Amino acid sequence: MSKSFMFSALYAALVFAGQHYMKPRPKMNLRLPLVLWSLSLAVFSIIGAVRTGSYMLHILSHGGFRQSICDQSFYNGPISKFWAYAFVLSKAPELGDTAFIVLRKQKLIFLHWYHHITVLLYSWYSYKDMVAGGGWFMTMNYTVHAFMYSYYAARAAGLRVPRPFAVLITSSQIAQMVMGVTVSALVYRWMQQGDCHSRLDNITWATLMYLSYLLLFSNFFYQTYLRPLPKTTKTQ
């Protein structure tokens, strides 16, 4: 857990130091490195989504929805065990996303770096305790990232991606947060009955995290896709 705080603090320091360093300097292109970076994360996420998704479907079809949330076998299965561990580890290199934003002098919004830090902290905090709900959290994240990084790779390569695809990705992120809050509430409910392993502090942090994401992503959706454009006044 202490390492996650160390990574997060180092990340935050590098982000704001990097912005200060780049302020008087021209932005970098970095198109090819960005394509390779996004493509590698897309492939990783696609494989992770298929592997964890197939395991979750197996549990759902044989044990039902409740077992899919409460069952800890996700952390110990011969295939899912590897992808659960890979998921947790991947939250550190994913911080590299921000380097491209800083070096290319793009707008860095609060949602971006807040999301990166809190996901890293919560993932590393929760994995060691094999808490209930983890299978859903990881599978959803892998799936959304599979689409998201594929979109980033296509954009970086200069391909024209239809706007509805971007809307779909943000919508899926919002749906992920709604499901995250729902799973957290169910874990709390079923934990009282003794067959859903978790802790109150973990459920509290998960709920607060997903609620904050829900608000931030919903606001991002409104500002990006729904907010009316300001009217321009014509000069005579």
Residue 138's pLDDT is what? Answer: 96
Phi, psi of 82 (to 5 degrees): -65, -45
Evaluate whether 99 touches 116 at the Cβ level (below 8 Å): no
pTM: 0.92
Please indicate whether residue 115 is annotated as part of the active site. yes
Residue 234's pLDDT is what? Answer: 46
Evaluate whether 92 touches 120 at the Cβ level (below 8 Å): yes
Residue 2's pLDDT is what? Answer: 72
Please give the structure tokens belonging to residue 136.
């859903």
* H or E, element range at 99: helix 97-103
From 58, 112, 115, 197, active-site residue: 115
Please give the structure tokens belonging to residue 236.
């005579």
Distance CA 36, CA 49 (A): 20
Residue 231's pLDDT is what? Answer: 62
Residue 95's pLDDT is what? Answer: 94
The CB density around residue 211, as the number of other CB atoms within 10 Å, is 15
Residue 230's pLDDT is what? Answer: 67
Distance CA 34, CA 74 (A): 32
The CB density around residue 225, as the number of other CB atoms within 10 Å, is 13
Residue 225's pLDDT is what? Answer: 94
Distance CA 75, CA 128 (A): 10
DSSP 71: -
Dihedral sign, CA of 141, 142, 148, 152? Answer: positive
What is the chain's pLDDT, residue by residue, as a tens digit (236 residues)? 678 889 899 999 999 999 999 999 999 999 999 999 999 999 999 999 999 999 999 999 999 999 999 988 889 888 899 999 999 999 999 999 999 999 999 999 999 999 999 999 999 999 988 999 999 999 999 999 999 999 999 999 999 999 999 999 999 999 999 999 999 999 999 999 988 999 999 999 999 999 999 999 999 999 999 988 666 544 43
Distance CA 14, CA 16 (A): 6
